[in-house]
Structure 1
Amino acid sequence: MFSLEGITKSLQDWLYLNFNPTWALVIECLIVIVLAIALFAFLGLVLVLMERKVAAHMQIRLGPNRVGPKGMFQTAADTLKLIMKEGLTPDGADKFLFNLAPFVVMIVAMLILAPIAFAKGFQIWDINIGVLYVSAISSLSVIGILMAGWASNNKYSLLGAMRSGAQIVSYELSAGISILCIVVLSGSLSINEIIASQQNGWWLFKGHIPVIIAFVIFMIAVTAETNRAPFDLAEAESELTAGFHTEYSGMKFALFFLAEYINIFIVCAIGATLFLGGWMPFHIGNWQDFNHIMDYIPSSIWFFGKTFFLIFLIMWFRWTFPRLRVDQLLNLEWKYLLPISLFNLLLVTVIAIFGWHF
């Protein structure tokens, strides 16, 4: 199977051959940092353009079509505009926390990248509790949002931050239980072992109806966790101006804007890894010839293809469903999704114990 494993192995061997172990490790860390920042910048440009084009297609219009061929450079122009804009800090704001909040949100997003396997053998940190690590770190992003809302000294920002806190804390439960379903079936918290357990079929297909239910609940929950419509009550323009980042401008606003799209990529990457096999090609049982053909497609193509398919689904949600009220949002979680998730986890446990999955 083609993968990026050979490139990373060759680079590591060359570094440890030409430098002592300490300097080799330092250079590796610097390379990882540069690649992570480059990935964030690239994803920000691509996903914003994708959002606009998907919205335009669903509303039967063109979308950006002036800057560059078919509007391809529109997001680059927007980025340049944000870089050149002055970053203002309100007089009554807590300046330290106000300036720190965007960086907290971005740092959390960068930390979550560590255990994600982008291709076979292409992973920053192969930790044996990868799923637990992702679940724990992802819950810290709400701190940055609450910090931004409170420090802005603005009633709209504070109300948006409080909404976001209630929303994220609530929907984390359903998302976590959906993830637990795959952990129970695979018997491991390691990202690589979960991917390896799907060598003869993705869990979405071989885990029966309970895994399909877990997948649907996971997609709903992560859409809410990323403050995306129809769950965008934290930044409801018609009510709260822009919610928790009302007072932000320039690059500070850009960091919040970028973090939203990076978080969409991350949750979709996790969903693709747990339910759709991550970088693992589509295999069907003992169909050796079919499986061999699938192996010719590079593992990185499989991973990014599945991830961007899930991103498209989340964008589809935004341009299809109307925004919920706050009470409807919380009722959906506490009265419907959470009880269904708990019962579904029980069914998955029974399936795992008796080995009824394919």
Structure 2
Amino acid sequence: MRCRTLGDRTADPVLKLLEEIAVQTSMPAQEADAFRGVVHERLRSGKVLLLIDGLDEIPDEGGRKSFANNLRTFLALFPQIAMVVTSREAGFRVVAGVIASTCQQAKLAPLQVADIRYLCEQWHVEVVRDSPQVREEAQKLANDICNNHNIFTLAQNPLLLTTLLVVKRSIGELPTNRAALYAEAVKLLVKTWNIEGFNALNEKEALAQLSYVACAMMEKNIKQIPHAELLNLLQESREVLAAELQYIRMSPEEFVEQVEYRSSLLMLSGRKMVEGELQPLYEFRHLTFQEYLAARGYVKKQHPRRTQRLSLLELLEPKFGDHTWREVIPLAAVLAELDAEPLLKG
């Protein structure tokens, strides 16, 4: 059962949703009756494995809670069946309390080399076709991914590995330089990921705000940021980057929620006491994205010191000896192209 296809049926009992499979697949009346009979018989005997895919893809939190409660009721009616529910962390938090008493929670471990090879090959078989040539090309791509440390660290996350595969599929190859690769991956996550469940983000507005936040976090040498501070930065970005963000209609709170649910580029990672208050902490899904977006922000002049009108060299030269900036500065040099000459000489 794919949660993204439920639409306004999230409040329906799970048994009703299963029975409706016959209607959705246009079974003739006689076969539909037989199907429903088999479903009921197998449920009573416990010979069912129910796979619930993408709980986080139910966009409305109320609908997600209703569906989770219905799952718990369903399992109480048929306690002998097996069920697997998948969800990204962003969408799971709202229903964790509902599911916790019924299901055993497991977190997917980072993919290893063998996992990456297997997923690459099976993805190509499913998306392209099954042939010796396709399998060989998939293994070659897997080799390229595993032999590049920066790409490999991304590929250990299934979402990001799938993103890399989609990037390669859409443009014909993985970009040869990291800046181009990260740009394509970020663009894909912002524009096309999880579009069934949530409204599309405006790419230019989203990247401008995320770049601003990434620059601020790099300058403070932090990888996590309290929720209130994040909202303040986003509001500040709309004032400093007025030319780019003058038509934005989404509030900072809505933006954070959309980015997390749509792309997981920015996500809740924990909680911390801040000035006597327990606040959510946010971080970029992978440090690589924070570094890339910061480099992009400095090149595009979408950073907190924009009003000072400093050159790229003036912005980055003080960071030359700081090891935490060792990825940001080369990425900025590549993104700046011809404008990078002063930076390279510096």
Q: Bin the TM-score by the shorter chain.
A: under 0.3
More helix by share: 1
**Normalising to structure 1: TM-score of the pair?**
0.26
Q: Which structure is larger by alpha-carbon Rg, 1 or 2?
A: 2
Considering Cα pairs closer than 8 Å and 6+ residues apart, tell me whether 1 or 2 has the greater RCO.
1
More strand by share: 2
**Normalising to structure 2: TM-score of the pair?**
0.27
